[in-house]
Amino acid sequence: MSLKDSTIITRFELVEVTVPATATREIEFPTSSNLQNDTDQKIIITDIEVYPVYVQTGSIRTSGVGVLPVLEIPKVSLVWYYQGGEWIRNIPLAKLIYITPPIGTASPFSMERVAFDMLQDCAIDKCKVVYNTAPAGLPYVIPFGITYIKLVPNTSL
């Protein structure tokens, strides 16, 4: 079956993880029905990226809330739950930033793609971000761009 088949739909979802003023070291992803498997859809994640403040200055969903400050990036990693376990553990967020910062914007991170090989059976509500020290500059959101394939029932790749 080809990715051009009409039963396979490529999509994108912006998910904002809110880091509240009372944040702990682990913060769960919000539930997203578009990214959950159910009887009407099977979701396969093909890419995950992060947008720091030089890409998106404020939350799309919550007025007046800022975005992940550049200096917080080295503190944060991602834990991704799929196929019944935490198989991606503590990948640094810096590895998920693919947009080069504008000239004059400080960002000591290399822009190198991380290959995600068709992550299936994800449970977004069990995914989380983990800080190695307490978050600072709160509150803010961490915007994640998630590219995925939606399969309609009885379709496989």
- The per-residue DSSP string of 4-20 comes to TSTTEEEEEEEEEEEE-
User: What was the pLDDT predicted at 20?
Assistant: 92
**Higher-confidence position of 81 and 2:** 81
* Other Cβ atoms within 10 Å of 20 Cβ, number: 13
* Other Cβ atoms within 10 Å of 126 Cβ, number: 15
Report the run of H or E that residue 41 belongs to, with start and end. Answer: none
Across 41-57, average pLDDT: 90
On the 0-12 / 13-18 / 19+ scale of CB atoms within 10 A, 107 is: middle
Residue 145 pLDDT > 90, yes or no?
yes
Across 103-130, average pLDDT: 78
